[in-house]
Structure 1
Amino acid sequence: MFKTFLTSTALMLSLATYAKAEAPMAFDVAEDHTRIHMATAPLHENGMPAHGNAFVSQGYIYPAGTLAEGAVGVLEDGSPAFPDLVLGTWTCDGYFVGEGGNATTGVWIISRQTFAFDDGATVVTQGTEIADIGQPNLRPVTGATGEFADINGGLIQTTLGFNDFWGLSATYVFEDRTPDPASGPDHASYGTDQIDKTDHLEWDSGVPVGPIFDDGLSPST
């Protein structure tokens, strides 16, 4: 009985370790053009979404490298080009800002992105999106479940381009939060050398956080 218990425990620990190791630390996304929905206004004169235009979109999550070399991840009818490789569903909602759909560089979208993996794990990020192709952009992770529950840091988005159907192709990699020996234990290196290592997700102003009362005193004083 005791031997069986030990064997079962070892098996469960082995499976847990395997599952954790299998959590992808990088992945690609192919936007499904048939599930892009934008508000009818405001628009630029050329019909592209302008500042303040709201949208929601969905697409497919693939293993990292699937969309390399210009591979298109979505067929014309909106179905996945590589159905056997689909890891889950990506949902993005938010607003166009600045030059919106006419932007060629800099921030053009403020969004929330939800990565729902088929195994039930989820990752949520919120922040800016930039129009620059091939330029990494760090987005804070604001929530995660399942195998990603212990993620500490951000998710780096790099837009690879847009396919013939105007669907986004992008690749993502989690920020590497392991201590950087060159910077000391309080600093972290990122998953790419192209991002300025002075970037950070949190800033401590030194001001106490809590309710502020008109007289500057707490209710008990």
Structure 2
Amino acid sequence: MLRSLSMTTAAILLGTAALAEPLVRFDVAEDHTRFVFQSAPVDDEGMPTHGNPFVTQGYVYPADTLAPGIDGVNEDGSPAFPELVLGTWTCDGFLVGAAMKAETGVFLVSRQTVVLNEGDILISHGPEIIDENVVQLRAISGATGSFVDHDGDIGQVFLGWGPYMGLRAAFDMEGHGEDS
């Protein structure tokens, strides 16, 4: 009896240890090969302008993976750190204002869907700003799994464009990235 109780206790303890802390901070690296937009409206260089809808995808990484000078996507669109990929990020929306030519402020409005490898989902809506290292709040509009206890907002910090023009961003559901 003592042996089976010990094995049961050990199984419970191991199971409890296996439960990871909920993901509240993460990085996203856009796969530049998956950015698709309508053929119009575009500017003289063929880049989408105000009102152009788009969809894109990328990789979710642990927080602080995308340090300055480190991109999360290879030239062919594959993840630079496949062993660190926590899930996928899908973003759709509309370019607004100066759009891709913006130097400050809002350049698009989007819905972002994060799907972790285990199936947990986080959906947020809101504006995105082109200013680097500035927190922009987005509304959390849906959540499942480990994200379900998070409501309200999530902070997004634009970390700049990668070498292949893929967006790099950090997300924080608690501290909103103030220390970024």
With the length of structure 2 as denominator, give the TM-score of the two structures.
0.89
Counterpart position of 1:19: 19
CA contact (8 A) 2:95 2:107 kept: yes
Q: Across the two proteins, how many residue pairs are aligned to each other?
A: 180
Rounded to whole Å, the distance in 1 between the matches of 2:76 and 2:32 is: 9
Once the two structures are TM-superposed, the CA of residue 82 in structure 1 deviates from its matched residue by 0.4
* Higher alpha-carbon deviation: 58-67 or 44-53: 44-53
C-alpha displacement of 1:19: 2.1
- Whole-angstrom distance in 1 between the partners of 2:41 and 2:11: 57
Residue matched to 2:118: 119
Q: Secondary structure at the match of 2:42?
A: coil
SS at match of 2:118: coil
For 2:78 and 2:15, how far apart are their aligned partners in 1? 33
Cα separation, 2, equivalents of 1:61 and 1:130: 19
Match of 2:79? 80
Q: Describe how 1:20-169 pairs up with structure 2 within 5 A.
A: 21=21, 23-169=22-168
Cα displacement (A) at 1:24: 1.7
Q: Counterpart in 2 of 1:179?
A: none
Instruction: State the structure with bigger RCO (CA 8 A, min sep 6), 1 or 2.
Output: 2
Letter in 2 for 1:80: P
Give, as a single letter, the amino acid of the residue that structure 1 aligns with 2:133. Answer: G
Which residues of structure 1 form unaligned runs of 5+?
Answer: 177-190, 195-221
Gaps of 5+ in 2: none
Residue 19 of structure 1 contacts residue 147 of structure 1 at CA under 8 Å; is this kept in 2?
no
Q: CA offset at residue 138 of structure 1?
A: 0.6
Q: Is the 8 A contact 2:157 2:177 kept in 1?
A: no
1:20-45 CA distances to partner (integer Å, 9 max, x unpaired)?
52x22101000001111011110122
TM-score, with length taken from structure 1: 0.73
Give yes or no for contact 2:29–2:73 (8 Å, CA) kept in 1. Answer: yes
Runs of 4+ deviating beyond 4 Å: 3-14
Mapped to 2, the partners of 1:88 and 1:43 lie a distance apart of 31
Identity %: 47
CA distance in 1, matches of 2:15, 2:79: 30
Counterpart position of 1:187: none
Summarize the Cα distance change of 1:43–1:66 in structure 2 as closer, same or farther, 3 Å threshold: same
